[in-house]
Structure 1
Amino acid sequence: MCGIVGLFLKDKALEPRLGELLSDMLITMTDRGPDSAGIAIYGAGAPGKVKITAQSADPENEFKGLVAELELAGVAADVTLKSTHAVIEIAEDAVADTRAFLARKGLRVMGAGESVEIYKEVGLPKDVVARFDIRAMGGTHGIGHTRMATESAVTTLGAHPFSTGADQCLVHNGSLSNHNNLRRVLVKQGMKFETQNDSEVAAAYLTSEMAGGKDLGQALTSALDDLDGFFTFVVGTKDGFGVVRDPIACKPAVMAETDQYIAFGSEYRALVNLPGIETARVWEPEPATVYFWDHGKAA
């Protein structure tokens, strides 16, 4: 079943509250999928820097001395520890070396980019939100997901959001029927997969399309032709936020827009505590229709 939420802020005055607002939205969706949850927060990045969010099943031991180990590997890094996750900030030319180091240590990469931080774990949304102190985080936009596993195991890697490109991630409600064929095509293109989840394939597909020069709106439009099944996608990129439903649109979805924000929820109740919701323009996104917003651009 799953519950998905997204919030794109137009009013800078709300940016310090992004984590708080998105957390409340996601927790409201708990009964749509209580086995795991995740949130991606997009905030201001430092020029010339990249953040890699890594996860460990044994953070007490594996994160101990992480800065010193990275230095020995030739990587200067600032590290912020949050429960089972570590946000590693490095120079943009050190990404490959850092990823190689993390792979040697057996640490999992949740996401990477100039502005995104991704936190996900097994457990209820309220517990995931609390363990990573999401409420205290500010930013410009974010997406979240609470999962009911139907296609693959209940694991940290199987939780959403899925990120397969820099500053890009996806949450999904539904099921794809042609993901195995598409996975084989993407593997031939050089894409790597860490789970059997069909949603990871959808994320990789969009990464591939955007690497070919398409913007988010164009990549989501292509997905309507190339992906079979039933789905609602909410996607985050460095600059924005997009939504698309399959042509049947059997999964529930609602959106709201005010002068301050654009919000998405699997159900309206996810939106009821947003400021000014009583005067928002509220609508159900149309089937096979792409909605996306970035800085000054909408479709």
Structure 2
Amino acid sequence: MCGIVGLFIKDKALEPRLGELTAGMLATMCERGPDSAGFAVYGAPSSGKAKITLQSDTPDDSFAGLAAALGKEIGATVDLDVKSTHAVLTCPADKVDAVQSAIRASFPNVRIMGRGETIEIYKEVGYPTEVAKQFELAKMSGTHAIGHTRMATESAVTTLGAHPFSTGADQCLVHNGSLSNHNNLRRDLRRDGMTFETENDSEVAAAYLTWRMNQGLNLGQALEKSLDDLDGFFTFVVGTKDGFGVVRDHIACKPAVLAETDQYVAFGSEYRALAGLPGIENARVWEPEPATVYFWER
């Protein structure tokens, strides 16, 4: 099953409402995936800074003193904003690789959810509306966001197994469907240097797109390539620092609806996810075509 929502703001005046609107959209999808949920929010970049979203099952212990310890290790100022089981770490952009290496080497109870200049990722086990409240999604602002409610049919219900999956800087993906060639793809991508945290096929799709964009393609071009290289049935909604993309497989058996106005582009697995958006009565609303890439970029 699973439910996907996405919102790409075109009108800057609407950016303060990004989290509020995304939370409302996500709430309509709960019965499509009640076991876990997650969302990615793209905010304004901070000059010369990078953000790393972290997660821990024991946040009180894991995050206490973490910023000071990492700052000492890399020789730079590190800030940490704790939000329940997650924390957003901010550091100089040229130190982000060193910070990630230090976390993996010295802090085994801390997991890296995503990194980049603008992205923050939050995901947890639990009912989607409760997950949204846990991380105060409704209070967040930004330029675009994607969210996912999960019904785990092929893997365990875990935090890492929840969507979105992020495998590159400011990149993330949510997925409704199932890939049939993900094991072969995972092996091929590992040989090209990609790493994986889970056995979830959706993480393979995210890594595939990262691999393609590392070759110089933009998101739209990478999604075009995915139609040739990914087998199975899928609907992807993908975010990058400046882009927002949607694609369905050649059969397109998973439900999907897009809407566009002068203020935004919105995606939902069902129309009811879009029904509460401002100006939806005047939007162009359509079902995305099979094997067709829809891509917007700032």
Q: Partner amino acid for 1:124? A: Y
Q: Partner amino acid for 2:143? A: T
Q: Deviations over 1:165-203 (max 9, x none)?
A: 000000000000000000000000011101000000000
Q: Partner amino acid for 2:295? A: F
Q: Partner amino acid for 2:68? A: A
Match of 2:250 among 247, 250, 256: 247
Residue pair 1:151, 1:198 contacting (<8 A) in 2 also: no
The residue number in structure 2 matching 1:261 is 264
After the TM superposition, which of the residue ranges 3-12 and 89-98 deviates more from structure 2?
Answer: 89-98
The Cα of 1:71 is off from its aligned counterpart by 2.1
Q: Deviations over 1:101-132 (max 9, x none)?
A: 22120111110000000000000111111111
Q: Name the CA distance, whole Å, in 1 between partners of 2:233 and 2:117.
A: 32
The residue number in structure 2 matching 1:64 is 64
Residue pair 2:5, 2:268 contacting (<8 A) in 1 also: yes
Could you say what secondary structure the match of 2:250 adopts?
coil
Q: Partner amino acid for 1:36? A: S
Q: Mapping of 1:172-183 within 5 angstroms?
A: 172-183=175-186
Residue pair 2:68, 2:78 contacting (<8 A) in 1 also: no
Residue pair 1:40, 1:161 contacting (<8 A) in 2 also: yes
Q: Mapping of 1:73-84 within 5 angstroms?
A: 73-74=73-74, 75-84=76-85
The residue number in structure 1 matching 2:278 is 275
Could you say what secondary structure the match of 2:216 adopts?
coil
The Cα of 1:145 is off from its aligned counterpart by 0.2
After the TM superposition, which of the residue ranges 184-193 and 64-73 deviates more from structure 2?
Answer: 64-73
Q: Deviations over 1:124-163 (max 9, x none)?
A: 1111111111111000001000000012111000000000
Match of 1:197 among 200, 203, 208: 200
Unaligned runs of 5+ in 1: none
The residue number in structure 2 matching 1:126 is 129
After the TM superposition, which of the residue ranges 141-150 and 97-106 deviates more from structure 2?
Answer: 97-106
The residue number in structure 2 matching 1:186 is 189
The Cα of 1:88 is off from its aligned counterpart by 0.4
Q: Name the CA distance, whole Å, in 2 between partners of 1:55 and 1:260.
A: 33
Q: Name the CA distance, whole Å, in 2 between partners of 1:146 and 1:275.
A: 23
Q: Name the CA distance, whole Å, in 1 between partners of 2:209 and 2:117.
A: 19
The Cα of 1:65 is off from its aligned counterpart by 1.3
The residue number in structure 2 matching 1:28 is 28
The Cα of 1:100 is off from its aligned counterpart by 1.5
State percent identity of aligned pairs: 70
Unaligned runs of 5+ in 2: none
Residue pair 2:16, 2:142 contacting (<8 A) in 1 also: yes
The Cα of 1:72 is off from its aligned counterpart by 2.3
Q: Mapping of 1:203-214 within 5 angstroms?
A: 203-214=206-217
The residue number in structure 1 matching 2:107 is 105
Q: Name the CA distance, whole Å, in 1 between partners of 2:81 and 2:97.
A: 20
The residue number in structure 2 matching 1:219 is 222
The residue number in structure 2 matching 1:170 is 173
The residue number in structure 2 matching 1:154 is 157
After the TM superposition, which of the residue ranges 97-106 and 111-120 deviates more from structure 2?
Answer: 97-106
Q: Partner amino acid for 1:286? A: E
Q: Name the CA distance, whole Å, in 2 between partners of 1:39 and 1:226.
A: 26
List, as ranges, runs of 4+ consecutive aligned residues in structure 1 with deviation greater than 3 Å: none
Could you say what secondary structure the match of 2:8 adopts?
strand
Root mean square deviation, CA, Å: 0.7
Could you say what secondary structure the match of 2:275 adopts?
coil
The residue number in structure 2 matching 1:95 is 96
The Cα of 1:81 is off from its aligned counterpart by 0.6
Q: Name the CA distance, whole Å, in 2 between partners of 1:170 and 1:259.
A: 25
The residue number in structure 1 matching 2:17 is 17
Q: Name the CA distance, whole Å, in 1 between partners of 2:214 and 2:9.
A: 26
Q: Name the CA distance, whole Å, in 1 between partners of 2:101 and 2:246.
A: 33
The Cα of 1:68 is off from its aligned counterpart by 1.4
